[in-house]
Structure 1
Amino acid sequence: MSHPASDLLGPRERVVAGLMSGTSMDGIDAAVVRLSGSGRDVQIQTLGFACTSYSDDLRQRLAAQVEAGTSDVRGLALLHAALAESFAAVVHDALDDAGLASGDLDLVGSHGQTVQHVPEPVSIDGRPIQATLQIGDPARLAVRLGVPVIADFRSADVARGGQGAPLAPYLDDCVFAHETETRGLLNLGGIANITILPAGEGPEAARAFDTGPANMLADALTLRLTGQPYDRDGALAASGTPDLALVRELLETLVFRQEPPKSTGREAFGADYVGMLVTRGPSEPKDMIATAVALTALSIADAVDRFVPHHLDRVLASGGGVHNRALMQMLEDALPCPVETTEASGVDPDAKEAILFALLAHEWANGVRTGLPAVTGASGPAMQGALYLP
């Protein structure tokens, strides 16, 4: 009798749902994608897409679980299960958008919701320990959808001594590498990360790292200072005046000056950092939010200047931050090359990260190691992801 996973394996065309929920904790994205081929020969056709904001209940529970002072193991376990139910619902929404049913899916790739990311070693029992934890029970998700799920994409790289992040460079190289242009692929989610693809080079030449916060600081400050969940279109930031002296001072701190490979998250830019900004920054809400947006834009430009040895011909941006007009204008002013969204290259900037996890699941089934040691610092390329059967 054949193993129930045997039909999944080997190179072939697949319909895969990719799921992403980012550091900003604003909601869930799902893309249904038809995939064939592998690496730079991969063919990607997006069939459907859906995004759903977290309910106030889920957002509040997540906010408690990502902060060490308020996290509790019972609440974490319950949230692990509850998020899987929400993930399944968004996949169904994306299937509806595609005119498909769950029976049409071959596979699901789920990133999960990061609640802790500890890429720098901490001594435990005399051993240096790195860790990363994403929740949203993939076993429950597989049962709810009746479809195999690939999840836990970061742990194998961390086990090899890597940062486990960023993961986007695999898709970036497959889709956006160019013979004559050196490109920067900029993701503006909760955290900002950039992939550098030198012109005419192979995937081994790609480099990527987290540059610092993207939406998470501005979102947290907007909620704290105005009661709104985010600054729609960056209107408040555009009307404010940033404290550039504070921004320049912050850019000299270790979290920004540390050389790649590096990754970061809510542990560095969570509630304590927001509190520091409120204490030290402008008293007017629009000026404080403008300061947070300036920190994002100038930290990206500073990272390119410090750590990228190539002249960039073009930056292609994706993620929720592309809708923040103030942020995009600051990036255009600060970066030494044109800035546009991935829409110009045929990839929906809102769907790109969800497409990434569909691709990583597809490549797992193809038997491809998608870990990039030159990006993460791992000792070798990791087989990223683990299988959960319904």
Structure 2
Amino acid sequence: MRVCGLMSGTSLDGLDIAVADFFEEKGSIRHELKFFTTMPYPDELRERLTSLMDPKAPMQTISSMNMYLGELFASYVKTALADSPVPFASIDLISSHGQTVWHEPVSDGTPFSRPNTMQIGDISALAEHTRKTVIGDFRPRDIAAGGQGAPLVPFADQYLFQIEENGRVLVNIGGISNITVLPPTGSNEDVIALDTGPGNMIIDAFVAIHTNGNELLDQDGRYASLGKVHNDWLNDLLQHDYYRKSAPKSTGRENFGFDYSKSIWNDADRYGLTPVDKIATVTMLTAKTLSTEIQKFSDSHDVTEVFISGGGVHNPVLLNYLRDLLPGLAIRNTEVLGINSDAKEAFVFALIGYLGFHNEPNNAPAATGANRRTVLGKIAW
């Protein structure tokens, strides 16, 4: 089956499109990535999506954007494949993660409150405008089964990358950073997975503030490279309640979005920090929160290798901070595993969709906290 996986993440930079072929061979599923691209979002759309992540956003606006994104995703897929070596007609299934606008995996305890999550980009609109079968809306079923609905990528990490010789950590640095800790096959240790905290989210916000919106990310770590990490302020930032929680845990803009970023940007003024010092320090915050969680499990899971994917692989300052904090581990990107580091999440949702379409369990309870393995995803024929 040829599956087109779609991922729109917390960075809100665009729609990742990965096309992969899946086939069974000797009782196992093989795969081949055939195509990948990112269709960037225009600034107006990025701003509108950001506004929808406010709890006070009008329901009508969210509902309308849900249908709009379904149509937009359809047009992006057709446009991306029009000049590619992969014919649009050859796609058998589209698997779409959607765009998360709200993620609240823990109830507040009031009578009508339940753990909940919302991803928009309606799969019925996507199916109608592509005339393809679409699977999507994966997270709610995991939440219904007692999980947090996230992270979902660790299922594929274990499925694809666990080996007998040693433990591995798979890291994705998008808007939020997450890790999957894989013990060697045959180990008595469980697979561990969690969101460690902010990835590029606060860094991007700081660059936007510093440049009055003219730049939206720290290209090649340029600003961080000009600054110095302020350890006292870093220690203040590390007091956030999220970092003290145990796995499984997941987070997003509700904890580390623009409002939080703006507040800590202003807070740093009491230390007299320059803008580039602020950016260097929150870049170290991402590295520090990642390394702290990795170190918790490195001995018990016999970890010797760390593989990184996501937008963070393009920030050499962030990667150097991480190498300095984890001197005993080999840190590389997922290219050495045969997976394009930018394409990984879209590819993973192609795999998750393929399995869900075939009624195969596609969640990892050790990662999400779900009570059982189950089949995630709804289908629009």
- TM-score (normalizing by structure 1): 0.91
1:159 to 127, 140, 144: 144
Q: Quote the offset at 1:25 in angstroms.
A: 1.1
1:4 maps to none
1:314 maps to 305
Report if aligned partners of 1:170, 1:370 keep a CA contact under 8 Å in 2: yes
1:5 maps to none
1:105 maps to 91
Matches for 1:1-390 after TM superposition, within 5 Å: 14-37=1-24, 41-69=28-56, 71-96=57-82, 98-124=84-110, 126-201=111-186, 205-226=190-211, 227=213, 228-281=215-268, 283-306=273-296, 309-335=300-326, 336-389=328-381
Moved more, 285-294 or 129-138: 285-294
Moved more, 112-121 or 219-228: 219-228
The one-letter code of the counterpart of 1:37 is E
Give a deviation string over 1:29-48, Cα, whole Å, max 9, x none.
00011011399932111111
Give a deviation string over 1:304-334, Cα, whole Å, max 9, x none.
2345643420000000110011111111111
Report if aligned partners of 1:50, 1:97 keep a CA contact under 8 Å in 2: no
Structure 1 distance, partners of 2:179, 2:105, is 18
Report if aligned partners of 2:183, 2:189 keep a CA contact under 8 Å in 1: no
Structure 1 distance, partners of 2:77, 2:267, is 42
The one-letter code of the counterpart of 1:134 is Q
Moved more, 100-109 or 299-308: 299-308
1:42 alignment partner, SS class:
strand
Which sections of structure 1, spanning at least 5 residues, go unmatched? 1-13
Check 1:294–1:38 CA distance in 2 against 1; reply closer, same or farther (3 A cut): farther
1:268 alignment partner, SS class:
helix
Q: Quote the offset at 1:204 in angstroms.
A: 8.7
Report if aligned partners of 2:108, 2:114 keep a CA contact under 8 Å in 1: yes
Q: Quote the offset at 1:77 in angstroms.
A: 1.6
Give a deviation string over 1:127-174, Cα, whole Å, max 9, x none.
551000000111111111111000011000111121111111121112
Q: Quote the offset at 1:189 in angstroms.
A: 0.7
Q: Quote the offset at 1:244 in angstroms.
A: 2.0
Structure 2 distance, partners of 1:21, 1:204, is 32
1:143 alignment partner, SS class:
helix
Q: Quote the offset at 1:289 in angstroms.
A: 1.2
Structure 1 distance, partners of 2:14, 2:318, is 21
The sequence identity of aligned pairs, in percent, is 39
Report if aligned partners of 2:182, 2:301 keep a CA contact under 8 Å in 1: no
1:298 alignment partner, SS class:
helix
Number of matched residues?
374
The one-letter code of the counterpart of 2:58 is D
Report if aligned partners of 2:196, 2:293 keep a CA contact under 8 Å in 1: yes
Find runs of 4+ consecutive structure 1 residues off by over 6 angstroms. Answer: none
Which sections of structure 2, spanning at least 5 residues, go unmatched? none
Structure 2 distance, partners of 1:229, 1:332, is 25
Report if aligned partners of 1:61, 1:79 keep a CA contact under 8 Å in 2: no
1:313 alignment partner, SS class:
strand
Structure 2 distance, partners of 1:97, 1:284, is 46
Structure 2 distance, partners of 1:145, 1:328, is 39
1:10 maps to none
- Over aligned residues, Cα RMSD in angstroms? 1.9
